[in-house]
Amino acid sequence: MALCALSDGPKPHVGGPITPAASVPTVLIGGAPAAVANAIPGGIVCVSPAPNGIAQGSMTVLVGGFPAARLADLSMHGAPIAPGPGCPTVIIGG
C-alpha cells in the first residue's frame, strides 16, 4: 500500500496497493510476490491520471535485478510506502 502526497487542484490523490507490475512473481516473501523499485508506471494504484510506481528501494538488496522495496521507500509521487500487507518478519537493509 502506498500513500500519495500529490493533488490535482482540490482533488487529492489517494494512493493504493502495489500491483503486479512492481513485483517479482518468482520471489515470494511471506507468500506474496516481492515488491521492487522498478519505477514502472502503474506499479502503485492511484486515482490520479499521472502514473505511479515505486521509485526508490534498497541500494544493496536486489530482487530479480531490481532494488527490493521496503516500508517507507518512496513512490514516484513522492509519498512513502505505508504499513500494510507486508511481512513483519523480513527486514531488508540498505
pLDDT at 29: 92
DSSP symbols for 21-57: GGEEEEEEETTEEEEB----TTSB--SSSS---B---
Non-local (6+) Cβ contacts of 34 within 8 A are 23, 24, 27, 28, 63, 64, 68, 69
How far is the C-alpha of 68 from the C-alpha of 93, rounded, in Å?
Answer: 9
**94 residues of the chain, pLDDT tens digit each:** 676 777 777 777 777 888 898 999 999 999 999 999 987 888 888 877 788 889 989 999 999 999 999 988 988 888 888 776 678 888 898 6
Q: Which residues, at least 6 apart from 33, have a Cβ–Cβ distance to it below 8 Å? A: 20, 23, 24, 25, 27
Give the pLDDT confidence score for residue 85 in this predicted structure. Answer: 67
Would you list the domain boundaries of the chain?
A: 7-67
**What cell numbers appear for 92 in the block?**
531488508
